[in-house]
Amino acid sequence: MELILEKIQGEYLPNFNNHSDNIMFYGNSGTGKTFLSHCIAKELLDKGNLVVYRTSEDLMKNLKDIRFNNNKDLEDLLINCDLLIIDDLGAELLNDYIVTELFNFLNEKLLKRKKMLISTNLTLGQLSKCYTERLSSRLYGNFTIFKFYSEDIRVKKNLSKMNR
């Protein structure tokens, strides 16, 4: 965790406006992925950047709204924000339509060099099985990947309260 924090604080955040790097956090539940994502968002928002946070389920709803209601304002927000955080990728209900829409969306952001931060509880192998090879290839090839190793922090905190 210290190494991840060092990379984020020492390289990613100070140079945010000078790169188009994408980040993917993966690891078990309760290891701090969402917490660190929120810390990054706060730091960037405080510096005047536009950060949009979506759970994967909310993003899929947004993509449907864009597709079926031609919601151009929402599309512009999601595509052109300074950083899009997609939390808990893999928790959404998957079908061929969703996987295709997600691929098209991620591909468009990558082609436009728009930054993303994705977190997931899935392993890299599980991601490959859940999504198409094309989508997985873009995740593995265009994102700096950080694995979170830890026991579930929420469970540990709760157990420590019970043992007092």
pLDDT of res. 158 = 60
Q: In the predicted model, what is the mean pLDDT of the chain?
A: 92
Among 11-20, 37-46, 71-80, 145-154, name the one with the lowest average pLDDT.
Answer: 145-154
State how far the Cα of 20 lies from the Cα of 73, in Å rounded to an integer: 23
Please give the pLDDT value at position 164.
67
Confidence grade of residue 92 (pLDDT, cut at 50, 70, 90):
confident
pLDDT of 44 > 80? The answer is yes
Question: In this structure, what DSSP letter does residue 163 have?
Answer: T
Question: 1 or 16, which is more confident?
Answer: 16
Alpha helix ranges (H) inside the chain: 2-7, 33-46, 56-69, 72-80, 96-111, 124-130, 133-142, 153-162
Query: Beta 143-148 vs 115-120: how paired, if at all?
Result: unpaired
